Amino acid sequence: AQSVTQPDIHITVSEGASLELRCNYSYGATPYLFWYVQSPGQGLQLLLKYFSGDTLVQGIKGFEAEFKRSQSSFNLRKPSVHWSDAAEYFCAVGPGGGNKLTFGTGTQLKVEL
């Protein structure tokens, strides 16, 4: 069965500092991987996705993620965090087709000014 682990429940960073959010997945074949962001009181918004090809993918809002098959990881990074990045971030894995996505439990990001 597919699964996603986000080991960090809460992360606090200072504005301007770099950020890395961890995501480890379990999947039997080449996965479709996603990062979504949820601002307070809102639904989720897609940040970026990986299907195949270049293992470093760029997303919106200056985020990027790297797929590492050998480590079963898809970590999200941002070189310089802005206060508006404070939100909850979800990693997701699935087979493609959109109907069997499994979400992680989320990482709550706090940004200190």
Partner 1 sequence: NAGVTQTPKFQVLKTGQSMTLQCAQDMNHNSMYWYRQDPGMGLRLIYYSASEGTTDKGEVPNGYNVSRLNKREFSLRLESAAPSQTSVYFCASRALDRNEKLFFGSGTQLSVL
Q: Which residues bind partner 1 (CB under 8 A)?
A: 4, 9, 32, 34, 36, 41-46, 49, 51, 90, 96-101, 103-106
Nearest distance from residue 65's CB to partner 1, in Å?
15
Nearest distance from residue 7's CB to partner 1, in Å?
13
Q: What is the DSSP string of 62-108?
A: G-EEEEEGGGTEEEEEESS--GGG-EEEEEEEE-SSSSS-EE---EE
Nearest distance from residue 104's CB to partner 1, in Å?
5
Q: For the chain, give the number of residues.
A: 113
